[in-house]
Amino acid sequence: MGSLSQCVPLGSNTGYREINTVRWVAVKNGVLWQHVGQDLISDSVTLGVLVTDTADRVDDTTLDRVVIRFAGDSGDGMQLTGDRFTSVSAAVGNDLATLPEFPAEIRAPQGTLAGVSAFQVHISDHDIHTPGDAPDVLVAMNPAALRSELDKLRSGGTLILNDDTFDERNFEKAGYETDPREDGTLDGYVVHRVNMTKMTLDATSELDVKKRDAERSKNFFALGLVSWMYSRPTEPTFEWIEQKFGKLPAVAAANAAAFKAGHAFGETAEMFGSQFKVAAAPQKPGEYTNITGNTATAWGMIAAGQLAKLPVFLGSYPITPASDILHELSRHKNFGVRTFQAEDEIAGVGAALGAAFGGSLAFTTTSGPGVALKAETIGLGVSTELPLVVIDVQRGGPSTGLPTKTEASDLFLAMYGRHGEAPLPVVAASTPADCFHSAIEAARLAIKYRTPVILLTDGYLANGSEPWLIPDLDSLPDISSSFATEPNATDATGAPMFLPYLRDEATLARPWAIPGTAGLEHRLGGLEKQDLTGNVNYDPTNHGLMTELREAKINGIADDIPPIDVDGPGDAPILVVGWGSTRGSITSAVERLRNDGLQIDHAHISHLHPFPANLADVLNARQHIFVPELNRGQLVKMLRAEFLVDAKPINKVMGVPFTGAELIDAIREGISQ
Amino acid sequence: MTDVQLDPTKRGYWTSDQEVRWCPGCGDYGILAAVQFLHAELDVKREDTVFISGIGCAARFPYYMSTYGMHTIHGRSPAIATGLAISRPDLNIWVVGGDGDMLSIGGNHLIHALRRNVNVTILLFNNQIYGLTKGQFSPTSEVGKVTKSTPMGSIDRPFNPISLALGAGATFVGRTHDLDRKHMIEVFRRAHEHRGASLVEIYQNCNVFNDGAYESITKRDVRADMMIDLVDGEPVRFGADNQRGVVMRDGRAQVVDVADVGESALVVHHESSHDTTPAFAMSLLATDNVSPTPFGIFRAVEGPEYGEYSEMVNQQLLTANEQSGPGDLKDLLRSGATWTVS
């Protein structure tokens, strides 16, 4: 392995054309370093550490970096695409390392494995060591590129295909006997099939450019798309196109049009860039699979149906970044799962509540804007005391906000986003795989306490993946509950009667009597109900009583959830309290601070309402309490209000997760004050 | 419990113990009675019957039935009923609401329930006014209507609920009125028997905020000349001496004297016609409350091309089961690439 040996001005290295050469490029502190040592020339590439930076870096968390690999035919301009992406990334201040790879032959037959050209870039907002191990994203411009490069893509990674090149002829050239998009080859990856060639031709159809030249612009379409996903600035690329192709205005215009089209497609199709990743850690023995948060959520819903012995019903309306749950669940009708794509968010939750009345385990999945629309129906669920799970895959807000960017700013919405006194349990998942268990937990609470439950995940968890130790089914809880089948009281004459609001003494839950059950006919509604009978009632005392009963029922759940588990000594002077997808960043930051000698605990809250019963004790007697959140300080206000502790917020609202370094800096600053 | 409450063939069996609280003289009483009498005739069980409503005067309806029921939120009853119908195709589900509930705040859910053809019977109580909120104009109020919110007269053009339902692809569309129990029962019966979504518009009098809105059509002494009874397979004729009829002229339905055109020129009503054009034209025959107005069943189509929604949903479940076998959670969790760490 070589070391950094040469410094050249940024931007002068465009369009590498060496044959049979592997070159590493690294940008440090805004300066482009490169190495073209002979010792790196080889036919095959071995990935490894190149940049011999001597700084002590124990943090190899991969939360805040991404490795992208562009692959296509040697004529597809992949090197140019990768180089442009690298340049704009350097310009925005990312550290990066790149790895171009070319075919050994100057003109290998088009569409063949021998002709595949690839360019890998690793971008990060902290110091990086390598061009990345396994790429997180693979752009494959044809089947040969897919076949040649797929094994490099990390499990669960994102695959962007130029769908237009996937035909019989190219399958044959690439050595595929069947369509890899359909035969299971791509299982376990997040696949985006994009008609890049067609859309490039459409985008350039108005220009005075030959079809062949127009088609050659498709690499700029790919560049535009990936630039959208990773929020790269567009202006430098337009300037570069102008400079490079100024003498060929038609070509310049075609490239610019293709770039714009790709960028616009990313925006319109709401392609996600931010991906959840966790550092490799020692793994427990067992069978693993790679799972995204949305898939884990969907599987958790199916599992919950099995564990509850109830048919699953999902009423949903497509919304980024939640739609994949609907897609995944729709594939599993053989579990008796009914999925209903409604006309709007309100109908999605309405249908779910109707199904709950009929005895289904009912879910609705959405993101923040959808929760806002569903609020009134959720309130009806609180009033009718029917089981319902509302899953909010949070995204940047307010309003349409940042649909493809992550944020955790719906906690208050989940807690308080209904009119009237309408408390309900709020549960949050903290890793992609945790979405599975959280969906089951949300269902357990909904069924047992006959209440709507809001489960919070976010775009980062939803689209991110992690290796998951597949649970033993016997370890999953029995969450079943029985329907009422018999009258539960007698009237003044001693005749049997049914009181739909006669509560279980322990849980305060009311009976779930479903249509079809003779003798238990009753009417539910949103008007205040008389205690026990459920009849419409306007009596002031009764309204007070019912309000308190509904609240006491939810508060009682605190005794039915696990105590909060503290990572650390348990009595450290510093406590970091988190919730949701910040778990990875906080864990990484806390570990590094401990390595630096700090006494620090980390408590991560899964049940945000009600809080675990031991939370007061956990917060007690700390010198510093920090609450990092991807919002402007929501949990921190809840903790201060409920426990009167001097918890300090650490906030970030930029559509991306915390980096470990940001948290470390914020905590250090906080304790120095 | 009294004897009638034990006999499903008696109205009392279908009546709840709750005091009915509509204004005295409200048209809703007649509709409630018709629905209860109909159920006393139907071969359905009380426990299998569900009434779902939204918000409004009409929406109090479920409280007065001794069946299962749900008084939900404004406009959403078709959506809530859809979820129940999909998951419980065994039930006899009715949706009840007024013109504000169904056509204004809930217009979207209504048209989608109709186009999906979910097996629910929808009763649209149309009194052309907001009653519960004390007298604002509704989406079916006539232009120029003076109300508290429109002191200078409403400038909104009204919906024609029948045209709207036909436009949404409804497979059953009927109209009746609150003064004729027998007619209501027959139209409700047909709507109930229909496999799919049925919409019945009921001309209903709000005697407090819009009294007499339909008087010039439905009052006993003018009915013969103002109500056009749609009879399947028959020429459309009406009038005290059956002297008037409806023809199609320039694509529009028009009232004529039979003597002028001869009976053979009259439109023959076919409720099961695949082509909605004649029914649509018939729905537009009267656009006010002073012209002869068709009543009865405008459209009633069934067959493979009008599949019922919950049946199709559940058929897909069966098909998936046949194709992939019953779902196995253990296999599901291993359906992606897996590896073992030892």
Does B81 contact A at CB distance below 8 Å?
yes
Is residue A9's pLDDT more than 60? no
Is residue A565's pLDDT more than 50? yes
Q: Is B166 helix (H, G, I), strand (E, B) or coil?
A: helix
- Domain holding A664: CATH number? 3.40.50.920
Contact A286 B341 (CB under 8 A): yes
Is residue A534's pLDDT more than 50? yes
- Nearest chain A alpha carbon to B107: A343
- Nearest chain B alpha carbon to A500: B68
pLDDT at A620: 95
Distance spanning both ends of chain A, measured CA to CA: 45
pLDDT at A15: 27
- Nearest chain B alpha carbon to A358: B84
pLDDT at A104: 54
Mean pLDDT rounded to a whole number for chain B: 96
Among the listed ranges A66-80, A175-189, A276-290, A522-536, which one has the minimum average pLDDT value? A276-290
Residue A249 and residue B306 in contact, taking contact as beta carbons nearer than 8 Å: no
What is the arithmetic mean of pLDDT over A253-271?
Answer: 89
- Scan for tokens 């955790």, then name that residue: A408
pLDDT at A604: 98
DSSP string, B195-247: SS-EEEEEE--BTTTBTTTTHHHHSTTTHHHHEEEE-TTSB-EESTTS-EEEE
Structural domain boundaries, residue A22: 6-194
Q: Which residues does chain A have within 8 Å of residue B50's beta carbon, measured at their own beta carbons?
A: 357, 515
Q: Which residues does chain A have within 8 Å of residue B55's beta carbon, measured at their own beta carbons?
A: 526
pLDDT at B168: 97
Instruction: Give the model confidence (pLDDT) of A14-39 as tens digits.
Output: 222 222 233 334 433 333 333 333 33
B132 by Cβ neighbours in 10 Å (0-12 / 13-18 / 19+) ranks as middle
Question: At a CB cut-off of 8 Å and minimum separation 6, what does A620 contact?
Answer: none
**Higher per-residue pLDDT: A566 or A25:** A566
What length does chain A have?
673
Contact B67 A521 (CB under 8 A): yes
In chain A, positions 227-246, which contact chain B (CB-CB < 8 Å)? none
Does A516 contact B at CB distance below 8 Å?
yes
Q: How far apart are CA A465 and CA A277, in angstroms?
A: 6
Q: Which residues does chain A have within 8 Å of residue B324's beta carbon, measured at their own beta carbons?
A: 334
**Higher per-residue pLDDT: A637 or A86:** A637
**Dihedral of alpha carbons B211, B216, B218, B220, sign:** positive
Is residue A63's pLDDT more than 80? no
Is residue B237's pLDDT more than 90? yes
Question: At a CB cut-off of 8 Å and minimum separation 6, what does A346 contact?
Answer: A373, A374, A376, A377, B76, B79, B109
**Higher per-residue pLDDT: A444 or A405:** A444
Contact A334 B317 (CB under 8 A): yes
In angstroms, the Cα distances linking A307 to A449, A506, A643 are: 16, 22, 36
Q: How far apart are CA A223 and CA A160, in angstroms?
A: 11
Q: How far apart are CA A497 and CA A541, in angstroms?
A: 24
Nearest beta carbon to residue B70 from set A340, A342, A524: A524
Residue B264 and residue B321 in contact, taking contact as beta carbons nearer than 8 Å: no
- Scan for tokens 């630096």, then name that residue: A596
What is the arithmetic mean of pLDDT over B260-278?
Answer: 96
**Higher per-residue pLDDT: A76 or A642:** A642
Nearest beta carbon to residue A288 from set B79, B81, B341: B341
Nearest beta carbon to residue A350 from set B62, B83, B314: B83
- Domain B3-213+308-315 class in CATH: alpha beta
Does A522 contact B at CB distance below 8 Å?
yes
- A266 lies in a domain? no
Domain boundaries of chain B, sorted by first residue: 3-213+308-315
**Higher per-residue pLDDT: A270 or B154:** B154
Q: A10-22 in b/e burial notation, b at 16+ Cβ within 10 A?
A: eeebeebeeeebb
Instruction: Give the model confidence (pLDDT) of A197-219 as tens digits.
Output: 999 999 999 888 888 889 999 99
Query: Percent of chain B beyond pLDDT 90?
Result: 95
Instruction: Give the model confidence (pLDDT) of B16-37 as tens digits.
Output: 999 999 999 999 999 999 999 9
Nearest beta carbon to residue B338 from set A289, A336, A359: A289
What is the arithmetic mean of pLDDT over A179-184?
Answer: 91
- A234 lies in a domain? no
Contact B327 A523 (CB under 8 A): no
pLDDT at A311: 98
Q: Which residues does chain A have within 8 Å of residue B49's beta carbon, measured at their own beta carbons?
A: 515
What is the arithmetic mean of pLDDT over B314-332?
Answer: 97
Contact A351 B340 (CB under 8 A): no
Question: How close does chain B come to A582, measured CA to CA in Å?
Answer: 25
Contact B317 A338 (CB under 8 A): yes
Query: Percent of chain A beyond pLDDT 90?
Result: 64
Does B108 contact A at CB distance below 8 Å?
yes
In chain A, positions 22-41, which contact chain B (CB-CB < 8 Å)? none
In chain A, positions 447-486, which contact chain B (CB-CB < 8 Å)? 470-471, 473
- Scan for tokens 């919110």, then name that residue: B149
Does B333 contact A at CB distance below 8 Å?
yes
Q: Are strands A286-292 and B338-341 parallel, antiparallel or unpaired?
A: antiparallel
Is residue A164's pLDDT more than 70? yes
pLDDT at A120: 82
Which of A194, A219, A244 is the endpoint of a domain? A194
What is the arithmetic mean of pLDDT over A594-608?
Answer: 96
Is residue A415's pLDDT more than 90? yes
Structure tokens at B251: 């694509």
Same domain, yes or no, for A438 and A294? yes
Query: Percent of chain A beyond pLDDT 70?
Result: 85
Distance of CA A304 to the CA centre of its chain: 21
pLDDT at B2: 58
Q: Are strands B227-230 and B293-300 parallel, antiparallel or unpaired?
A: parallel
Question: How close does chain A come to B174, measured CA to CA in Å?
Answer: 24
What is the arithmetic mean of pLDDT over A555-583?
Answer: 96
In angstroms, the Cα distances linking A327 to A134, A157, A322, A339, B176 are: 27, 18, 9, 9, 43
pLDDT at A131: 57
- A265 lies in a domain? no
Mutate to test the interface with B, among A357, A374, A522, A529 (most CBs of B within 10 A): A357
Is residue A277's pLDDT more than 90? no
Which of A194, A216, A245 is the endpoint of a domain? A194
pLDDT at B33: 98
pLDDT at A132: 57
What is the arithmetic mean of pLDDT over A330-350?
Answer: 98
Q: Which residues does chain A have within 8 Å of residue B16's beta carbon, measured at their own beta carbons?
A: 523
pLDDT at A279: 42
Same domain, yes or no, for A162 and A33? yes
- A305 lies in a domain? yes
Q: What's A612's DSSP letter?
A: P
Is residue B253's pLDDT more than 60? yes
Is residue A438's pLDDT more than 60? yes
- Scan for tokens 């959720």, then name that residue: A378
What is the arithmetic mean of pLDDT over A162-187?
Answer: 93
Closest CA to A255 of A243, A270, A272, A267: A243
Q: Which amino acid is at A537?
A: N
**Higher per-residue pLDDT: A328 or A464:** A328
pLDDT at A107: 62
Contact B87 A311 (CB under 8 A): yes
What is the arithmetic mean of pLDDT over B126-150?
Answer: 95
Mean pLDDT rounded to a whole number for chain A: 86
Does B68 contact A at CB distance below 8 Å?
yes
pTM metric for this prediction: 0.83
- A109 lies in a domain? yes
Q: How many domains does chain A have?
A: 3
Is residue A231's pLDDT more than 90? no
Which of A194, A210, A241 is the endpoint of a domain? A194
| pLDDT band with cut points at 50, 70 and 90 for residue A232 | confident
Contact B327 A335 (CB under 8 A): yes
Q: SS3 helix, strand, coil % of chain A, rounded to 5?
A: 35, 20, 40
Contact B321 A333 (CB under 8 A): yes
pLDDT at A189: 87
Nearest beta carbon to residue B83 from set A188, A291, A313: A313
Does A311 contact B at CB distance below 8 Å?
yes
ipTM: 0.97
Question: How close does chain A come to B213, measured CA to CA in Å?
Answer: 30
Contact A377 B76 (CB under 8 A): yes
Structure tokens at B160: 């024609």
Contact A350 B72 (CB under 8 A): yes
Contact A340 B341 (CB under 8 A): no
Is residue B82's pLDDT more than 90? yes
Mutate to test the interface with B, among A333, A373, A386, A524 (most CBs of B within 10 A): A333
Same domain, yes or no, for A295 and A188? no
- Nearest chain A alpha carbon to B323: A334
**Higher per-residue pLDDT: A112 or A307:** A307
| pLDDT band with cut points at 50, 70 and 90 for residue A97 | low
pLDDT at A109: 80
- A414 lies in a domain? yes
Q: How far apart are CA B143 and CA B163, in angstroms?
A: 18
Contact A334 B320 (CB under 8 A): yes
